[in-house]
């Protein structure tokens, strides 16, 4: 009798261990995705944002940006608006933090004034688009808790389907569902559920390209809002890694002269 | 050319300029980047109340032209910036004026930068008053809110360090504050004689003005401490006959502190100045805050509420009469694709209840046009206030601007 119990315990233990190694937890997947993207350093890019309303009318905006990876904390970002022409030269600088509020400043060139922006505005729209500020800011692992759901295909790729839950009370979402590509941990798709847990938006990543033989970046991101029928398309170009940016490129002075 | 014909010509400017002029261009290996941009605007301003002084009108057309040239080389480590300004007013010959807002060369070394030329510098955090901001003269012809500034000739050095930024300024060629002319509204009743302006400095407008500022942004704080020595930007007025007044500019030492603290959706703000001249020592401050309700009911709309209190022991001598005044304001950003926004507020004197109010709203039309409305009102103006001289000059304005 005693032997049977022992054998059962051992079998159960073995099963548990196997199960644990085979199925990552959601957090493990998010951490792995962060790990494979470590060391990208700095980059610049250009962005064309196309807003489409329910009637199919399109408006475009041009933006370019500089980004710096920060060891042990969130990234630094500088975003400069090129069009519409009336906001040309307006620039925003964001220091993302893994824990706590991000720091954000906006430079208004017509009055030469740097304004501090409340980072508690996470759910508001970015430049009249379907992207909320929290969608375009640096996606730090610590900003969510995770729950593994299943393996599932997205964009024709084998993916881990993971639920993530925003830590911040200011988030506009109850949860997101993220599809991480199984082979390289890049994100293929995200579904955003509003505070009432109704599907609000779907973001699809496409035209991935690999840089420095390591880092994957999507050239196209398409956000569809299911509740208002509007869409926003982001087309990235001139994604350039290894441009050697330092903290000096993210000072108040740098923000004022950003072009 | 008459003003009217000139106006028509100016409004046609955006249609004449080819669209390619605003494109950035790189010329082979030289890494030269050139941009030409700017805007042209037409304003219609209507004053419903009868004019107080002879020669003034009820309604004014005016036009504004602001070209910008940016030239960059050495991979952005050096650039030249030019911003021009031309205002043409239908009646007011003084308000018809041109200015070089910016014309400077800037070079960047690792963590410091040097610029030489005409620049615009803004210091401060509060909304209703900009006490600490002292580098540039205000362009009062463009607005009695002192928000618009004239270009200032300077050498400016700025270091970005771990513990903040240090900025040094050496300035000369002082710019006088100019007021609307005989046919303009929003002016004092007396004539101003700029030819007989006097200065405390023997070097007059060529006095070298100096300024230093330390500023730092860390965690929830933005702090600046500054000191200015030189010719005061604010004039005193002197007269021998009671009809013609000429400005006098003193030499001053002014120390300023500006602090902003962010806590969630709340911004706490304070500015304080301590100013000494041979004649007088003054203290003034503005304190308050701004709370923003972001994404109101998930509509995308941001609603900000602003409350500030202004104190100035100059009393009625303070040019904008913010001597003991509360400011209640609201800021609405619709965050739609046309970037519709609105800013409105009232300023009320605590002692005599002198009231002024304003509202301004903007909306983009298409990709490159913008329509704006603005209204400024005065009521219950106490005769002791400087504003009493313009008590009948409440106005509404509609503007259409083309950006290129």
With respect to residue A16, please indicate whether it lies within any of the assigned structural domains: no
Q: 3-state SS of chain B?
A: CCHHHHHHHHHHHHHHCCHHHHCCEECHHHCCEEEEEEEEEEEEEECCCCCCCCCCCCEEEEEEEEEEEEEEEHHHCEEEEEEEEEEEECCCCCCCEEEEEEEEEEEEECCEEEEEEEECCCCCCCCCCCCCCCCCCECHHHCCCCCCECCEEEEEEEEEECCEEEEEEEECCCCCCCCCCCCCCCCCCCEECHHHCEECCCCHHHCCEEEEEEEEEECCEEEEEEEEEEECCCCEEEECCCCEEEEEECEEEEEEEEEEEEECCEEEEEEEEEEECCCCEEEEEEEEEEEEECCHHHCCCEEEEEEEEEEECCHHHCCCCCCEEEEEEEEEECCCCCCCEEEEEEEEECCCCCEEEEEEEEEEECCCEEEEEEEEEEECCCCCCHHHHHCCCCEEEEEEEEEC
Contacts of B262 in chain A (CB under 8 A): 101, 116, 118
Q: For chain B, what is the mean pLDDT? A: 91
CB contact under 8 A, B120 and A85: no
Q: What is the ipTM of this complex?
A: 0.88
Q: Which pLDDT tens digit goes with each residue over A60-70?
A: 999 999 999 99
Report the residue of chain B nearest A86, measured CA to CA.
Answer: B403
Q: How many structural domains comprise chain A?
A: 1
- Of B207, B336, B290, nearest in space to A126 by CA: B336
What is the model's pLDDT at position B16? Answer: 44
CB contact under 8 A, B108 and A257: yes
CB contact under 8 A, B295 and A172: yes
CA distances from B351 to B328, B346, B382, B386 (A): 16, 15, 10, 15
Q: Which pLDDT tens digit goes with each residue over A211-235?
A: 999 999 999 999 999 999 999 999 9
CA distances from B104 to A87, B7, B35 (A): 22, 29, 15
CA distances from A154 to A202, A206, A224, A231 (A): 12, 11, 16, 20
CA distance A124 to A134: 8
What is the model's pLDDT at position A238? Answer: 94
Quote the radius of gyration of chain A (alpha carbons, Å). 21
- Of B138, B128, B80, nearest in space to B106 by CA: B80
CB contact under 8 A, B262 and A116: yes
With respect to residue A68, please indicate whether it lies within any of the assigned structural domains: yes
CA distance B290 to B308: 9
DSSP state letter for A98: S
The three-class DSSP label of residue A62 is: strand
Angle at A14 between CA A10 and CA A15, to 5 degrees: 115
CB of B128 within 8 A of CB of B138? no
Exposed/middle/buried for residue A143 (C-beta within 10 Å: 0-12, 13-18, 19+): buried
Contacts of A88 in chain B (CB under 8 A): 37, 403
* Mean pLDDT of the region B30-38: 87
The three-class DSSP label of residue A72 is: coil
pLDDT-wise least confident of A97-106, B88-97, B386-395? A97-106
Rounded to a whole number, what is the distance in Å from the CA of B40 to chain A's nearest CA?
Answer: 11
Residue-range definition of the domain harbouring residue A221:
25-256
With respect to residue A1, please indicate whether it lies within any of the assigned structural domains: no
> A84 preceded by cis ω (within 30°)?
yes
What is the model's pLDDT at position A24? Answer: 58
With respect to residue A15, please indicate whether it lies within any of the assigned structural domains: no
Q: How would you classify the pairing of strands B244-249 and B395-403?
A: unpaired
Q: Which pLDDT tens digit goes with each residue over B233-248?
A: 999 999 888 888 999 9
Report the residue of chain A nearest B126, measured CA to CA.
Answer: A115
With respect to residue A5, please indicate whether it lies within any of the assigned structural domains: no
- Of B358, B386, B346, nearest in space to B143 by CA: B358
How many pairs of residues across A and B have Cβ atoms under 8 Å apart? 105
* Mean pLDDT of the region A157-176: 93
What pLDDT band is residue A121 in, cutting at 50, 70 and 90? confident
Domain layout of chain B by residue ranges: 3-403
What CATH number does the domain containing A54 carry? 2.50.20.10
Closest partner residue to B260 among A116, A122, A248, by Cβ? A116
The CATH number that domain B3-403 falls under is 2.40.160.10
* Mean pLDDT of the region B191-215: 95
Cα Dmax for chain A: 85
What pTM does this model have? 0.88
Q: Which pLDDT tens digit goes with each residue over B42-80?
A: 999 999 999 999 999 999 999 999 999 999 998 889 999
Q: Which pLDDT tens digit goes with each residue over A177-186?
A: 999 999 999 9
Rounded to a whole number, what is the distance in Å from the CA of B264 to chain A's nearest CA?
Answer: 6
Q: Residues in chain A whose beta carbon is closer than 8 A to a beta carbon of chain B?
A: 51, 53, 59-60, 83-88, 101, 103, 105, 111-113, 116, 118, 120-125, 127-128, 170, 172, 194, 248, 251-254, 257, 259
Q: Which pLDDT tens digit goes with each residue over B277-315?
A: 999 999 999 999 999 998 888 888 999 999 999 999 987
With respect to residue A191, please indicate whether it lies within any of the assigned structural domains: yes
Q: Which pLDDT tens digit goes with each residue over A5-14?
A: 566 655 655 5
What pLDDT band is residue A118 in, cutting at 50, 70 and 90? confident
Tell me: pLDDT of B15 over 70.
no
């Amino acid at each position: 009798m005693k032997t049977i119990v022992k054998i059962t315990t051992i079998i159960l233990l073995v099963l548990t261990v196997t199960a644990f190694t085979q199925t990552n937890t959601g957090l493990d997947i998010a951490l792995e995705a962060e790990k494979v993207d470590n060391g990208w350093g700095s980059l610049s890019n250009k962005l064309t944002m196309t807003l489409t309303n329910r009637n199919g009318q399109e408006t475009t905006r041009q933006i370019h940006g500089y980004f710096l990876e920060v060891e042990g904390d969130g990234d630094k970002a500088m975003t400069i608006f090129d069009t519409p022409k009336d906001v040309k030269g307006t620039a925003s600088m964001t220091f993302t933090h893994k824990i706590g509020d991000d720091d954000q400043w906006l430079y208004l060139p017509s009055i030469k004034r740097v304004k501090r922006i409340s980072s508690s505005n996470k759910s508001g729209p970015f430049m009249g688009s379907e992207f909320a500020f929290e969608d375009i800011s640096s996606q730090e692992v610590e900003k969510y808790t995770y729950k593994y759901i299943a393996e599932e295909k997205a964009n024709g790729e084998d993916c881990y389907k993971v639920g993530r839950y925003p830590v911040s009370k200011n988030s506009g979402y109850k949860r997101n569902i993220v599809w991480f590509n199984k082979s390289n941990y890049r994100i293929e798709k995200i579904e955003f559920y509003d505070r009432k847990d109704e599907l609000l938006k779907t973001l699809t990543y496409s035209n991935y390209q690999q840089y420095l033989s390591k880092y994957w970046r999507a050239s196209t991101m398409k956000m569809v809002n299911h509740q208002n029928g509007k869409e926003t398309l982001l087309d990235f170009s001139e994604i350039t890694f290894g441009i050697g940016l330092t903290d000096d490129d993210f000072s108040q002075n740098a923000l004022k002269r950003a072009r | 050319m008459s003003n009217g014909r000139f106006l028509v010509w100016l409004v046609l400017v955006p249609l004449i300029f080819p669209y390619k002029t605003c494109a950035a261009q790189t010329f082979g290996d030289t890494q030269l980047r050139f941009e030409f941009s700017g805007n042209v605007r037409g304003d219609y301003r209507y004053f419903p109340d009868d004019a107080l002084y002879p020669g003034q009108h009820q309604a004014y057309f005016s036009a504004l032209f602001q070209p910008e040239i940016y030239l960059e080389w050495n991979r952005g480590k050096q650039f030249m910036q030019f911003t021009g300004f031309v205002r043409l007013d239908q009646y007011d010959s003084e308000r018809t004026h041109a200015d070089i807002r910016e014309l400077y060369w800037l070079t960047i070394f690792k963590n410091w930068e040097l610029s030489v030329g005409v620049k615009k510098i803004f210091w401060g955090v509060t909304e209703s008053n900009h006490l600490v901001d002292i580098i540039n003269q205000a362009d009062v012809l463009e607005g009695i809110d002192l928000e618009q500034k004239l270009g200032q000739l300077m050498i400016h050095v700025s270091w970005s360090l771990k513990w903040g930024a240090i900025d040094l300024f050496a300035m000369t060629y002082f710019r006088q504050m100019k007021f609307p002319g005989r046919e303009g509204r929003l002016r004092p009743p007396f004539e101003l004689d700029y030819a007989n302006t006097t200065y405390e400095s023997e070097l007059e407008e060529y006095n070298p003005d100096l300024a230093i500022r330390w500023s730092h942004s860390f965690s929830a704080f933005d702090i600046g401490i500054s000191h200015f020595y030189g010719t005061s930007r604010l004039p005193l007025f002197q007269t021998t006959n009671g009809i013609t007044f000429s400005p006098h500019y003193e030499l001053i030492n002014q120390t300023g502190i500006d602090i902003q603290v962010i806590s969630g959706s709340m911004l706490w703000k304070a500015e304080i100045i301590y100013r000494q001249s041979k004649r007088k020592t003054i203290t003034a401050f503005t304190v308050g805050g701004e709370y923003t309700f972001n994404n109101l009911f998930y509509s995308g709309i941001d609603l900000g509420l602003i409350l500030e209190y202004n104190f100035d022991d100059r009393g009625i001598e303070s040019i904008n009469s913010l001597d003991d005044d509360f400011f209640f304001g609201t800021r609405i950003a619709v965050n739609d694709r046309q970037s519709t926004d609105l800013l409105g507020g009232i300023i009320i004197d605590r002692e005599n209840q002198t009231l002024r109010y304003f509202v301004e709203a903007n909306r983009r039309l298409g990709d490159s046009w913008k329509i704006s409305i603005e209204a400024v009102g005065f009521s219950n103006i106490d005769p002791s206030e400087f504003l009493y001289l313009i008590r009948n000059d409440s106005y509404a304005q509609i503007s259409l601007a083309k950006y290129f």
